Amino acid sequence: MKILVIGASGRVGTDLVKQLLADNHKVIGTTRQTEQLFNDDNYAQIDLDITAEKNAIQQQIDSDIDAVYFVAGSGGKNVLEVDLHGAVKTIQAVEDKGIQRYIMLSTVFSLDTSKWDNPAIDDLKEYYICKHYADQWLVNNSSLDYTIVQAGALKEREATGKITINDSSAGENAIEDVATTLAAVLGASNTTKKVFSLKNGETAINEAVASL
Ligand SMILES: NC(=O)c1ccc[n+]([C@@H]2O[C@H](COP(=O)([O-])OP(=O)(O)OC[C@H]3O[C@@H](n4cnc5c(N)ncnc54)[C@H](OP(=O)(O)O)[C@@H]3O)[C@@H](O)[C@H]2O)c1
């Protein structure tokens, strides 16, 4: 498949691109950096800024892309422009291009405001609000074949290969396990039009994804 990864330079994006290339996909990664991120014949790179106008974003997206990942994020500094408006513009641009498959990396409980009464989330309220409405847009205002993958806290530690999905409490995730889950979603048609949360747990990633 030919896959666009928006946010290829990020911590999750880097692991995700590595896994997609290992699975023999052609990957177009986005970054605002000039340096080529991966040296692989199946990898190409575009300089994409999602704070640009929607039409400018759209012009940079090839029509023959089979699936799009959104793993970009503001890191808390420009949440409205990046995590909300930027994300929604990519959803609109992808849809207008006639691309159907869109896989969004989001955050645990993004769509469940009843779970936001938590000091950990309180500090991230504006980010949560942005992810909430971006995810709502994808579900309710687009006709895309979406999957929303809601990760708990991302941790730079060794992968376990095991996750728990849709638990009632939030938990931590090894970054590589989030990337592996995102990669597994691509080939799992049962994940279309689904939203699920994950944290490191007890079930092999492929098995957990297949159970959705
Ligand atoms: N941190 C957590 O604990 C946590 C938990 C759950 C979910 N998440 C979600 O996971 C996402 C990815 O996390 P991460 O740690 O991999 O992020 P990261 O390392 O901070 O990477 C952010 C990515 O977003 C891109 N980006 C930022 N601003 C952009 C812009 N204006 N236009 C285009 N691209 C832009 C960056 O690309 P450039 O190379 O262009 O800078 C980079 O590829 C987060 O943004 C968040 O939404 C995070």
Q: What per-residue confidence (pLDDT) applies to 120?
A: 83
**What total number of domains does the chain contain?**
1
Residue 36: the pLDDT is 97
Ligand 1 pocket member 29 (CB < 6 A): no
Nearest CA to ligand 1 atom 35: 72
Q: Tokens representing 149?
A: 């993958």
111 lines ligand 1 (CB under 6 A): no
pLDDT in tens, 101-120: 999 999 999 999 999 998 88
Note whether 153 and 174 are within 8 A (CB): no
Atom of ligand 1 nearest to the CA of 14: 16
Q: Which domain holds residue 87?
A: 2-210
User: What integer pLDDT is reported at residue 118 of this predicted model?
Assistant: 86
Averaged pLDDT in 10-residue chunks for the chain of 212 residues: 98 98 98 97 98 98 98 96 98 98 98 92 94 98 98 98 97 98 98 98 98 98
Q: What is the 3-state secondary structure (H, E, C) of 144-189?
A: CEEEEEEECEEECCCCCCEEEECCCCCCEEEHHHHHHHHHHHHCCH
pLDDT at 164: 98
Q: What is the pLDDT of residue 91?
A: 98
pLDDT at 119: 87
Say which CATH number the domain at 15 has.
3.40.50.720
Site to substitute for ligand 1 among 4, 11, 12, most atoms within 8 A of C-beta: 12
User: Distance between CA 181 and CA 63 in Å, rounded?
Assistant: 26
pLDDT of residue 211: 98
